[in-house]
Chain A
């Protein structure tokens, strides 16, 4: 882990330069290794992949997965898809938003379906999928997050 951010971005993106349609895999790799995709990364990425800076920026902002800042220590992604709503997913989402509203270290986001629609309500806690959730269960699983 040496070098400036620019150098590291360049090194990561270069690994994908020979792929067909390298931009998405390269962006995933930058975010995975460096935590987020900085606005300033676009110039480096564009340079390596022979794209315009505007193109790169346009792609980064189109996709919900790409962040422009570090993630919080914990994440809660609650499913608001219809199948989860049929068993209380919307309420779970709203309760989770208010439960963690005052805790800086936790981000609550909505997702639309996690492919666990027979075992809802579903959510990912720190990236791990959980089914048959209730507010109490979320509380138990996130003990010590405050």
Chain B
């Protein structure tokens, strides 16, 4: 902050831009007394575009638009920026006020534990210096003073598990690659983020891209890799641009390339863009795609850790997994393991979306219940109607009825209840949702996005759509054909579960069965004895 000038922060995050952040930045950027910084988003997405202004009391947040659509003026920001530390944040600025002054004090953020997403919305994602000034590169610096095997063990001791969905222990995966046949090895960041209801990978790449690069470099050192790829879905142009810029800046600063900061590590990274196929988020399909082939799933074994990209030992990790590693190396694995529960160590960046009042990014220790997340933090539905269902874990995740929302969000509690955490997406539906239609959608999605390799997935899902169409058409007057349709549907689910090579076909039955079990009335079945009925 230069004397006599005021710094304002406007997110360049795609979600903020989707509701006008670029217009706000253009307007404020023209003012001669304002210095404009484009940051990522803090994750209070319902408040976007959220403008912040530097003041003696810290960064004060204001919504860029009043309810009547009037845009916040530069003068308002200047008056807050120059106000004494004791000045109230509200008053004349009430129309834009968040009800609090400092952004960090907002209850939505104050109760979070930000580890992976600590810098989101705070730093300038284009500035390598800003990253360094906010604790960046500390983990990599420390890693480079350690033996690679010791870095692997540090990650093992953190208890970190993969955030991409399967929850495999990250340290064990790295240990396998480190011990694989010598020679060329790769680190691949899975940034395909195809699960509907999830956006944390995107926000991290747009708001703190150096964290991903630092995590990949630490991984490369630990496992002896020299080349990295970030496979980003084409639906994320902002993230692609942010990562490419960050790679160039990291190279210029000596954090990528040959002999990183004079060390024995030589490692470089390239962004690769997907082409509109959900299945390419599955790791072996992603590897096929990177090699320039159809994104068809490979049978395992061999596992990618031993024979991955171009048949070489390869680490495939989700963006959030890799972006958490710098903090683990900087502060120690045990410090990270102190968060969370028994087998779910650390924090999880939950993504609250759908029909929710306060939607956004919520990083917390594992263990909060779905109800606390959607009601206490999310504030219930956006429509104001009762919550009827919550889908957890993306398009292959279960629909939980309002009655079952007290399950804790940990890998083990979710699995025990027959659900899954997936990539941490939590999507809220009010009482107008038709779970019969959502079950049909799950089958339709599978039919459209199946890689086509196995019949139960490719054909089973297509038959699932047709069968559900008939069930839904008959549900007002169910007869014998309706009953036969339902039994065919459960048979199809069983066939898909048993005969699919990957979780696309194997887990599509999860949303279908959970809808059927907890919301039978939406399929024309008697709801009298069931717990999940309409309120």
Interface 1/0s, chain A 38-63, versus B by CB < 8 A?
00000000000101000100110011
Q: Are A116 and B196 in contact (CB under 8 A)?
A: no
Q: Are A86 and B355 in contact (CB under 8 A)?
A: yes
Q: How far is the CA of A22 from the CA of B290 in the complex (A)?
A: 8
User: Across the interface, which residues of B come within 8 angstroms of A23, CB to CB?
Assistant: 292-293
Q: Are A115 and B198 in contact (CB under 8 A)?
A: yes
- Number of B interface residues at 8 Å Cβ cutoff, please give it: 60
Q: How far is the CA of A116 from the CA of B197 in the complex (A)?
A: 8
Asked if B484 is at the interface of the complex by the 8 Å CB criterion, the answer is no
Q: Are B18 and A28 in contact (CB under 8 A)?
A: no
Q: Taking A59-B294, A62-B294 as contacts, is the C-beta distance between A115 and B199 under 8 angstroms?
A: yes
User: Across the interface, which residues of B come within 8 angstroms of A49, CB to CB?
Assistant: 292
Q: Are A83 and B197 in contact (CB under 8 A)?
A: yes
Q: Are B427 and A117 in contact (CB under 8 A)?
A: yes
Q: Are A82 and B427 in contact (CB under 8 A)?
A: yes
A79 (CB) vs chain B CBs: closest residue: B196
Q: How far is the CA of A41 from the CA of B438 in the complex (A)?
A: 40
User: Across the interface, which residues of A come within 8 angstroms of B500, CB to CB?
Assistant: none
Interface positions, chain B 359-386, Cβ under 8 Å from A, are 359-360, 382-383
Q: Are B18 and A129 in contact (CB under 8 A)?
A: yes
Asked if A69 is at the interface of the complex by the 8 Å CB criterion, the answer is no
Interchain CB contact (< 8 A) of B294 among A20, A58, A85, A129 = A58
User: Across the interface, which residues of A come within 8 angstroms of B438, CB to CB?
Assistant: 82, 85
Q: Are B14 and A62 in contact (CB under 8 A)?
A: no
Q: How far is the CA of A83 from the CA of B428 in the complex (A)?
A: 7
User: Across the interface, which residues of A come within 8 angstroms of B66, CB to CB?
Assistant: none
Q: Are B15 and A83 in contact (CB under 8 A)?
A: no
Asked if B283 is at the interface of the complex by the 8 Å CB criterion, the answer is no
Interchain CB contact (< 8 A) of B235 among A27, A62, A90, A111 = A111
Interface 1/0s, chain B 418-443, versus A by CB < 8 A?
00000001011110010001100100
A112 (CB) vs chain B CBs: closest residue: B196
User: Could you pull out 19 A-B pairs where Cβ atoms are within 8 angstroms?
Assistant: A25-B272, A63-B276, A63-B295, A64-B277, A65-B276, A66-B275, A79-B196, A81-B197, A84-B196, A86-B429, A87-B382, A87-B383, A112-B395, A118-B199, A119-B15, A119-B45, A127-B237, A130-B18, A131-B18
Q: How far is the CA of A55 from the CA of B296 in the complex (A)?
A: 13
Which of B46, B276, B291, B354 gathers the greatest number of chain A CB atoms within 10 Å? B354
B397 (CB) vs chain A CBs: closest residue: A82
Q: Are B202 and A115 in contact (CB under 8 A)?
A: yes
User: Across the interface, which residues of B come within 8 angstroms of A127, CB to CB?
Assistant: 237
Q: Are B427 and A83 in contact (CB under 8 A)?
A: yes
User: Across the interface, which residues of A come within 8 angstroms of B198, CB to CB?
Assistant: 113, 115, 117
Q: Taking A62-B277, A63-B295, A83-B353 as contacts, is the C-beta distance between A112 and B445 under 8 angstroms?
A: yes
A59 (CB) vs chain B CBs: closest residue: B294
Q: Are A86 and B428 in contact (CB under 8 A)?
A: yes
Q: Are B196 and A113 in contact (CB under 8 A)?
A: yes
Q: How far is the CA of A82 from the CA of B19 in the complex (A)?
A: 20
User: Across the interface, which residues of B come within 8 angstroms of A74, CB to CB?
Assistant: none
Interface positions, chain B 14-32, Cβ under 8 Å from A, are 14-15, 17-19
Interface positions, chain B 410-465, Cβ under 8 Å from A, are 425, 427-430, 433, 437-438, 441, 445, 448-449
B361 (CB) vs chain A CBs: closest residue: A118
Q: How far is the CA of A22 from the CA of B292 in the complex (A)?
A: 6
Closest 6 CB pairs of A and B: A118-B359, A81-B196, A23-B292, A117-B353, A64-B276, A63-B275
Q: Are A24 and B275 in contact (CB under 8 A)?
A: yes
Q: Are A82 and B391 in contact (CB under 8 A)?
A: yes
Q: Are B45 and A82 in contact (CB under 8 A)?
A: no
Interchain CB contact (< 8 A) of A119 among B19, B194, B292, B425 = B19
Interchain CB contact (< 8 A) of A117 among B199, B273, B295, B383 = B199
Which of B237, B353, B427, B430 gathers the greatest number of chain A CB atoms within 10 Å? B353
Q: How far is the CA of A90 from the CA of B198 in the complex (A)?
A: 18
Q: How far is the CB of B4 from chain A (nearest CB, A)?
A: 36
Interface 1/0s, chain A 1-40, versus B by CB < 8 A?
0000000000000000000111111011000000000000
Interface positions, chain B 275-334, Cβ under 8 Å from A, are 275-278, 289-295, 310
Which of A24, A25, A28, A59 gathers the greatest number of chain B CB atoms within 10 Å? A24
Q: How far is the CB of B405 from chain A (nearest CB, A)?
A: 16
Asked if B39 is at the interface of the complex by the 8 Å CB criterion, the answer is no
Q: Are A86 and B199 in contact (CB under 8 A)?
A: no
User: Across the interface, which residues of B come within 8 angstroms of A66, CB to CB?
Assistant: 275
Q: How far is the CB of B436 from chain A (nearest CB, A)?
A: 13
B296 (CB) vs chain A CBs: closest residue: A62
User: Across the interface, which residues of B come within 8 angstroms of A63, CB to CB?
Assistant: 274-277, 295
Interface positions, chain B 31-63, Cβ under 8 Å from A, are 45-46, 48
Interface positions, chain A 74-103, Cβ under 8 Å from B, are 79-87, 90
Task: Knowing that A24-B275, A112-B395 touch, tell me 11 more A-B residue pairs with CB under 8 angstroms.
Answer: A21-B291, A24-B292, A28-B273, A59-B293, A64-B275, A85-B438, A86-B427, A116-B15, A119-B359, A122-B18, A130-B19
Q: How far is the CA of A7 from the CA of B236 in the complex (A)?
A: 31
B290 (CB) vs chain A CBs: closest residue: A21
User: Across the interface, which residues of A come within 8 angstroms of B197, CB to CB?
Assistant: 81-83, 113, 117
User: Across the interface, which residues of A come within 8 angstroms of B277, CB to CB?
Assistant: 62-64
Asked if B128 is at the interface of the complex by the 8 Å CB criterion, the answer is no
Q: Taking A112-B194, A115-B235 as contacts, is the C-beta distance between A120 and B290 under 8 angstroms?
A: no
Q: Are B275 and A65 in contact (CB under 8 A)?
A: yes
Q: How far is the CB of B488 from chain A (nearest CB, A)?
A: 24
Q: How far is the CB of A17 from chain B (nearest CB, A)?
A: 12
